[in-house]
Structure 1
Amino acid sequence: MSASTRTDNWSAERYSSNASFVYSAAFTNKAIALLSPQPGEHILDLGCGSGELTLESVLPPVLPGGSVVGLDASPDLLARAEANAAALSSPAAAAAITWVLRDGHELEGLQQDGRYDAVFSNAALHWMKRDPAKVVRGVHGLLKPGGRFVGEFGGALNMVGVRSTLHVVLGERGIDASKVDPWFFPTPETYSAILEKEGFKVETCELVPRPTALPTGLRGWLETFAFAFLDALPSPADREAVIDEVCRRLEVDMKAQGEGEGTWTVMYVRLRFKAWKK
């Protein structure tokens, strides 16, 4: 892996405890079917996280003869991915996976430029807000002619209610949340235009509403994913107070009453797409 000097706000332990649904088969099978990995293919998993989906759904179909590179910007998540790969019972499978520590905005210069049959991304592109077009441009450079870019990430209206409440609660404490908000949730029209401008032909690009039960409630979700907002606060006590306040305001809409009482459900809206390099 390449070196990184960025602060790592991710925790593989929190991720698996609070958000394992992100890589669960129930929520990823349609994106994997859209990717349709084939024996002998070489695939890059962009934003692979802790590697469960990479190892369970992307790698096996490309064997024998193929390979997968898992790329992520978090050292902690990649360390878990490497540990998961080391536990594989098949030496051939373990040898066919490589992990790269890199920001998704910085894809230029990888040794595998122009080598990949496909680039796949699950639940990661919405974190690459600084320059989404640069990410797509980098993906285009990695693909063979006719290669495919397939992914699913947060789209317009994703986390509706949660995001706005974070903005309001931080605003009440004198913090402009728009300056720390890390998420890019585009419409299909916006993202299709980016793909087409950067040299792709779009096959499909659509929003997919997906209400999702949270295994550790909204508090666990906020502790795992809202660090950019929480880190803008001056102290741990302030962060806890904001989490408490956001949960209090959203409980009426997100916490089940009656049957299933106590279960928190968030309204995820995913943008699922498939595009081909021209």
Structure 2
Amino acid sequence: MVPAMSTDDKWSAQRYNTNASFVYSPQYTSPTLNLLAPQPGERILDLGCGSGDLTIDSLLPAVLPGGGIVGLDSSSSLLFKARQNLSSSSSVSPSDKANLSWIKCDGHDLASLGKDGEFDAVFSNAALHWMKRDPQKVVDGAYGLLKSGGRFVGEMGGALNMVGVRSALHSILADDGVDASKVDPWFFPTPEVYRAILEKAGFRVESCDLIPRPTPLPTGLRGWLETFAFAFLDALPSPADREAVIDEVCRRLEVDMKHDVGDGGEGKWTVMYVRLRFKACKD
């Protein structure tokens, strides 16, 4: 039985898949998956699995036969879509679908799962930067879930990620009397900061690096803001105010982020993603 979607869930699976499919595209996820190097028979937790596209298409096939994946996310909307995606997948056999399960859980609450030492690996793609309240608690939880010899591999937003966009949101909201620092949901650490968090949890860090990644946006900056900037926009009193902020962010950033494509095209938006990619082991 699929649980009802929470009314306070700000995520929209439809917007996510339409405006941000690059998040789980092979073009951008292959390096982190190669660092993970999942093997048949392994049991892996996908921390922040979203709508499950990467979980179903890349992680599950890699651990078969004999392995299993648990996809975990805090969004009911995204997990509802993930279950739909698995049910309708023609590339996964009915018997293999039983090796993938879903859990609704905040990443800060991994210790509540009661699965200490169950997983060969914890994997996370484009999710850890949303777990800002207590990053140490998230990493401690991942450590506890791993077997001895297990690994924690992930990619998240790092220092300078979305440079320009974030500062524009802060500046424009300040003009409207809103302190954006109180609603900003993102944690974009330097490698030094995140390495220290991993080591404090007990991990041996094999790698922790920043990777600049200019990223074209399929529906422009407006689509990106509508999908990911809800914490900022929801601090405003009306839909009209939110639209005005989106318009102003796009106006200010067009000169740097929108580029001609030639042949009379309208131009394409590209933003500067800076990813922090890491591998850490539990000895």
Query: 1:200-239 counterparts in 2 under 5 A?
Result: 200-239=203-242
Question: What's 2:154 paired with?
Answer: 151
User: 1:144-176, CA deviations, whole angstroms, 9 ceiling, x for partnerless residues?
Assistant: 011000000000000000000000000001000
In structure 1, how many angstroms separate the alpha carbons of the residues matched to 2:266 and 2:31?
A: 29
Distance 2:272 2:5 in 1: 34
Partner residue of 2:132?
129
Aligned-residue RMSD, C-alpha: 1.4
CA drift of 1:257 comes to 2.8
2:270 matched to 1:265? yes
* SS of the residue 1:185 aligns to: coil
In 2, distance between residues paired with 1:171 and 1:256? 28
The answer on whether the counterparts of 2:4 and 2:76 sit within 8 Å (CA) in structure 1 is no
**SS of structure 1 residue aligned to 2:271:** strand
TM-score scaled to structure 2, two decimals? Answer: 0.95
TM superposition shift of 1:109:
2.7
Percent identity between matched residues is 71
CA distance in 2 between partners of 1:223 and 1:249 (Å): 17
**Whole-Å Cα distance in 2 between the matches of residues 69 and 82 of structure 1?**
12
CA positional deviation for 1:258: 5.5
Q: Using the alignment, how far apart are the partners of 2:66 and 2:39 within structure 1?
A: 10
In the alignment, the residues of structure 2 paired with residue 198 and residue 111 of structure 1 have an alpha-carbon distance, to the nearest angstrom, of 18
Give how far 1:190 is off: 0.3
After TM superposition, the score normalised by the length of structure 1 is 0.97
Alignment of 1:102-251 (within 5 A): 102-251=105-254
Change (3 A) 1:129 1:160: same
Give distance in 1, aligned partners of 2:118 and 2:18.
36
One-letter code aligned to 1:267: M
Name structure 2 gaps, 5 residues minimum.
none
The AA in structure 2 aligned to 1:18 is: N
Contact 2:46 2:71 in 1 (8 A): yes
Q: What is the aligned partner in structure 2 of residue 11 from structure 1?
A: 12
Of the three residues 71, 94, 103, the one matched with 1:91 is: 94
Number of paired residues? 278
Change in Cα spacing, 1:136 to 1:106, as seen in structure 2 (3 Å) is same
- Whichever residue aligns with residue 85 of structure 1, its letter is L
